[in-house]
Amino acid sequence: MLILLIIGLLEPPSYVKAYDRPNDGGGAIVIEWEPVSDTLLKGYEIFRRKAGEEEFRKVAYVAKGRNSFVNSIGIKDGVKYEYAVRSVGIDGSYSDLSIPAPPVVSYPQWFKKNKINTLLAIVIYLSLLVYFTQAAKGRELFIRRIAGLDHLEEAVGRATEMGKPILYVPGISGMSSIATIASINILSPVAKKAAEYDTPIIVPNRDPIVTMVAQEVVKEAYTEAGRPDAFKRENVFFLSDSQFAYAAGVDGIMVRERPATNLFIGMFYAESLILAETGNMTGAIQIAGTDAVAQLPFFIAACDYTIMGEELYAASAYLSRDPKLVGSIKAQDWGKVIVMGLVVLGSILSLFNIDLIMKFFATI
């Protein structure tokens, strides 16, 4: 009698519903239920069967406090499944199975609806980009001074006067990093200047693909400067793919070759200060540029000029003054204005408990 009482004590969850997980490639079903308020409750067990089958099989257990579960194992798209949930007590007792949710089918979607905000942002940004690159034709658009980029020519000139080489370190990341691409964009005009002034430029690399790209860029720069014969492929080389072995190698180059100008432009990690301080010890003029926020303080402390964050991405436009590139910087700035406006608006609205803007930006 007592055992019967215990078995019947816990209630099963109610309003169990199951639906295809949205915005996925199929193979997953979401089960939700009304939580059971019972002090004896420990958790829930989720059961599944194919439509038409008699028996339910347990697929999962979730602890108390959760009222949803995503079943992504053993689900075949296009097959009807039924789910039921039962409560589990702290004393090991179980409730009856809940009323099963209506049959549900999982299927893959073709579009992630929860990424509409991202798509909208891309469309707006792309529109700004197209507008400003067109608007830039025949008109000079203003870009504020970026000290680090202004002094690049001076830095190259210093190396020429002293008869010493230029050391260009394009960072330690691969070509998939935007900072590395920006670095290669700066390498081109620097190499061209070096070719014009007949100053050797040394470019040690950490990544094989970056090595190949850097070799081509420097070679092209020398050709454009009318000095293809002066290009030395062995000056643009692969050093090591181990972070600190690379740092040690570059330090060795700085101490032996004593370059007059060190350019640290790209993505850096912990080795940034090791490179910059060693360069400072050799008395070189140093210009650094990175979007690695954590390394900026080290470069600021040890280098003469530092190009910070997105200033690095503006380098190509800044140095070439190509109207299309300058227009793209304007588009970037207007994009930031929009984001800032939305941040301010969202903050004000949230004071009145209106989370429209926050919900729009949330990703699931």
- By CB under 8 A, the residues from 184 to 203 that bind another protein are 184-185, 188
Count, residues near another protein per rule CB under 8 A: 94
9 binds another protein (CB under 8 A): no
In terms of CB distance, is 14 or 127 closer to another protein?
127
Among 223, 227, 346, 349, binds another protein (CB under 8 A): 223
Residues 242-270, buried b or exposed e (16+ Cβ, 10 A)? eeeebbbbbbebbeeeebbbbbbbbbbee
Whole-angstrom Cα distance, residue 364 to residue 356? 15
Helices (H) and strands (E) in the chain, counts: 12, 13
Long-range contacts of 318-323 (CB under 8 A, 24+ apart): 318/143, 318/146, 318/149, 319/149, 319/152, 319/186, 319/189, 320/189, 323/133, 323/136, 323/137, 323/138, 323/139, 323/141
Q: Does 359 bind another protein (CB under 8 A)?
A: no
Which of 105, 274 has the CB closer to another protein?
274
Examine residue 110 and tell whether it contacts another protein (CB under 8 A).
Answer: yes
* Among 270, 345, 356, 358, interactor with another protein by CB under 8 A: 270
Nearest to 227 by CA among 253, 209, 201, 204: 201
* Cβ atoms 261, 167 nearer than 8 A: yes
In the complex, minimum distance from the CB of residue 139 to another protein, in angstroms, rounded to a whole number: 17
Task: Answer yes or no whether residue 213 interacts with another protein by CB under 8 A.
Answer: yes
Stretch that binds another protein, among 33-41, 48-56, 78-86, 123-131 (CB under 8 A): 123-131
What is the Cα–Cα distance from 156 to 284, expressed in whole angstroms? 11
Tell me the two tokens of residue 34: 């009304």
Residues 284 to 323: which contact another protein by CB under 8 A?
291, 293-295, 298, 300-302, 308-310, 312-314, 316, 320
Using rule CB under 8 A, residue 238 touches another protein: yes
The DSSP letter of residue 172 is S
Backbone φ and ψ of 288, nearest 5°: -120, 155
For the CB of residue 8, give the shortest distance to another protein in the complex, in Å. 26
Residue 181 in the binding site for another protein (CB under 8 A): yes
**Applying CB under 8 A, does 141 fall inside the site for another protein?**
no
Q: Which window, 48-56, 138-146, 161-169, 214-222, contacts another protein (CB under 8 A)?
A: 214-222
**Out of 15, 61, 360, 361, the residue judged to bind another protein by CB under 8 A:** 61
Residues of span 26-55 touching another protein by CB under 8 A: 26
342 lies in the binding site for another protein (CB under 8 A)? no
Q: What residues form DSSP beta bridges with 57? A: 48
Helix, strand and coil content of the chain, in percent to the nearest 5, comes to: 45, 20, 35
